[in-house]
Chain A
Amino acid sequence: MEHFAVWVAAFLTLGIVSFLYKDNPWYKLSEAIFVGISAGYWFVVLFWDNIYGKFWNGIFPEELIDSAGNVVTREPDYWLLVGAVLGTLMLLRLIPKIGWISRWPLAFIIGCTSGLYLINYFSSNMMRQVEATIMPLVGHWVLDPATSQNAFSAFSGADIFSNLVLVIGTFTGLVYFYFSKEHRGAFGGTAKVGIFFIMITFGASFGYTVMSRMSLLIGRADFLLFDWLGLVR
């Protein structure tokens, strides 16, 4: 059975690779299989995880047995019905006359996402990043255990340079993203330095993306040569 499955996987892998030649029926077949199978897969996973795992088990909790052998009963969480009602309202989109009601669950999702993201992005991404950038550049105070007094410890030249790069890069990058003022004069010059840092970031991200795609390609070649054909041992 496993042998057959490996052949199926190889057939589909080569079907996708055949797109490099041109769009062809083999590729289209592999693509159609991928769309159908993966849509079904995620539908089933979401059903068992969310509808059964979270909703059904929340409303009708199963009795559990703890390590001491006692039966532990959980209280049903009827609040979950709110989620189910909102979800059902979402399906009203299929009835044109009352389809506008499907905006309510959408509004709930939008409100929920906005409220959560506003706080999370503000605290985790923005404040923490700003905090990490406002740092000692040339050295810091360290408690000397011998004298029990704080002593100044200078960073190495390379560390000072890296810290300066970090602070200047973050500041100038932010200036570049400020579009409410025309990028001219000293402001424009600062923004140009910002572009320099952002281009390096894009270059690094690009390099990483290429590497990850290459490793996937090597993985597929490895599958074809090792698992399927058995040429490489």
Chain B
Amino acid sequence: MKRQIPLFITFFVGTLLIFSVFIPPMETLGENFTLFFDIIAVFAFFLGAGNLVRVHVSKLRKRKADWGFSIVTLIGFGFMLFVGLLKIGNPGGIAADVTAPGSWFQEMFNYVINPLQSTMYALLAFFVASASYRAFRAKNREATILLMAAFVILLGRTPLGMMLTAWIPDSLSIFQIPNMAVWIMNSFNLAGQRAILIGISLGVVAMSLRLILGVERTYLGGDDSG
């Protein structure tokens, strides 16, 4: 019962959506189900947010290492809920869009989330540089090919690439680094991408069938206790 109902729901919903493609009056079913999906996602987010609060409150109570930073996280989270759900500091009031320009909520995005997020990603440039040093030592044939392709693409997308090979006559322009980068992208890279995409698609189709037919059941968890 605890496992059979979910298996039936998966089978029913999955099969219905597949059939809806072949039956024109049922075509909107996919859109409706996606809408349900969006609503369920918010409830899942309730669980996630509750978990975030629970973890940090527990850390605070037990005075675990770095518990002070949990206070910062909880204050930040609470402040955003307060400002966003009640639309405090929104020039248009409660009727306006929550992300209206000039609202406190949007300013927090512009001056806190955006700088933090982009700096986090920018920081990866340094770690990528260190990782690429290790990977790019051309230890074998495959690594050498990867190195050459990456090098040409990197140079081809910068003014340096053009400067280095600007002397090559127009009749041999394919050997100019920016043109080589475009050619690699449109032929060798495209071929590899296509093979990967077709492989992924076959995998997704196989996994979807396994889920719909109930062969794959790991999403139900290991036990029946809940």
Q: Do A and B come from one complex?
A: yes
Interface residues of A (CB under 8 A from B): 5-6, 8-10, 12-13, 16-17, 19-20, 28-51, 54-55, 58, 79-80, 82-84, 86-88, 90-91, 93-94, 96-100, 102-119, 121-122, 125-126, 129-130, 132-133, 158, 162, 165-174, 176-177, 194-211, 213-214, 216-217, 219-220, 223
Tell me the minimal C-beta distance from B123 to chain A in angstroms. 6
- Chain A residue numbers with a CB within 8 Å of B98 are 44-45, 48
- Chain B residue numbers with a CB within 8 Å of A102 are 226
- Chain A residue numbers with a CB within 8 Å of B39 are 50-51, 54-55, 80, 83-84, 86-87
- Are B66 and A28 closer than 8 Å at their CB atoms? yes
Q: Which residue of A lies closest to B202 (CB)?
A: A126
B101 located at the interface, meaning its Cβ lies under 8 Å from any Cβ of chain A in the complex: no
Residues from 13 to 35 in B contacting A, C-beta threshold 8 Å:
13-18, 21, 30, 32-35
B168 located at the interface, meaning its Cβ lies under 8 Å from any Cβ of chain A in the complex: no
A35 to B212, CA, bound (A): 36
- Are A129 and B36 closer than 8 Å at their CB atoms? no
- Are B108 and A37 closer than 8 Å at their CB atoms? yes
- Are B188 and A87 closer than 8 Å at their CB atoms? no
Interface residues of B (CB under 8 A from A): 2-3, 5-7, 9-18, 21, 30, 32-50, 52, 66, 69-70, 72-81, 84-85, 98-99, 105, 107-126, 128-129, 132, 142-143, 145-154, 157, 174, 183-202, 204-205, 207-209, 211-212, 219-221, 224-226
- Are A213 and B121 closer than 8 Å at their CB atoms? yes
Tell me the minimal C-beta distance from A188 to chain B in angstroms. 15
Known contacts A32-B72, A165-B188, A216-B121: A108-B77 contact under CB 8 Å: no
A151 to B21, CA, bound (A): 40
A169 to B193, CA, bound (A): 9
Q: Which 3 A-B pairs have the closest CB atoms?
A: A169-B191, A173-B195, A40-B80
- Are B225 and A100 closer than 8 Å at their CB atoms? yes
Q: Which of A51, A99, A220 is in CB contact (< 8 Å) with B115? A: A220
- Chain B residue numbers with a CB within 8 Å of A91 are 43, 46-47
- Chain B residue numbers with a CB within 8 Å of A170 are 191, 194-195, 198
Known contacts A40-B77, A40-B79, A44-B98: A158-B174 contact under CB 8 Å: yes
- Are B45 and A106 closer than 8 Å at their CB atoms? no
- Are B198 and A39 closer than 8 Å at their CB atoms? no
Tell me the minimal C-beta distance from B217 to chain A in angstroms. 10
Known contacts A107-B9, A170-B194: A213-B44 contact under CB 8 Å: no
Tell me the minimal C-beta distance from B201 to chain A in angstroms. 4
A203 to B69, CA, bound (A): 39
Tell me the minimal C-beta distance from A213 to chain B in angstroms. 4
Tell me the minimal C-beta distance from B186 to chain A in angstroms. 7
Q: Which residue of A lies closest to B84 (CB)?
A: A44
- Are A176 and B118 closer than 8 Å at their CB atoms? no
Tell me the minimal C-beta distance from A210 to chain B in angstroms. 5
- Are A122 and B225 closer than 8 Å at their CB atoms? no
- Are A194 and B195 closer than 8 Å at their CB atoms? yes
- Chain B residue numbers with a CB within 8 Å of A45 are 84, 98-99
A32 to B70, CA, bound (A): 7
- Are B191 and A36 closer than 8 Å at their CB atoms? no
- Are B153 and A114 closer than 8 Å at their CB atoms? no
- Are B147 and A20 closer than 8 Å at their CB atoms? no
- Are B120 and A199 closer than 8 Å at their CB atoms? no
- Chain A residue numbers with a CB within 8 Å of B66 are 28
Known contacts A12-B112, A42-B45: A210-B226 contact under CB 8 Å: no
Q: Beyond A83-B40, A87-B42: 17 further Cβ-contacts under 8 Å?
A: A37-B76, A43-B77, A50-B39, A50-B41, A50-B42, A51-B42, A107-B219, A111-B212, A119-B21, A129-B197, A165-B191, A177-B195, A197-B195, A200-B145, A201-B196, A203-B147, A203-B148
- Are A103 and B220 closer than 8 Å at their CB atoms? yes
Q: Which of A20, A48, A114 is in CB contact (< 8 Å) with B212? A: A114
- Are B113 and A41 closer than 8 Å at their CB atoms? yes
Q: Of B85, B147, B151, B188, which is in contact with the most chain A CB atoms at under 10 Å from its CB?
A: B188
- Are A109 and B205 closer than 8 Å at their CB atoms? no
Known contacts A43-B49, A201-B189: A176-B195 contact under CB 8 Å: yes
A195 to B140, CA, bound (A): 13
- Are B118 and A219 closer than 8 Å at their CB atoms? yes
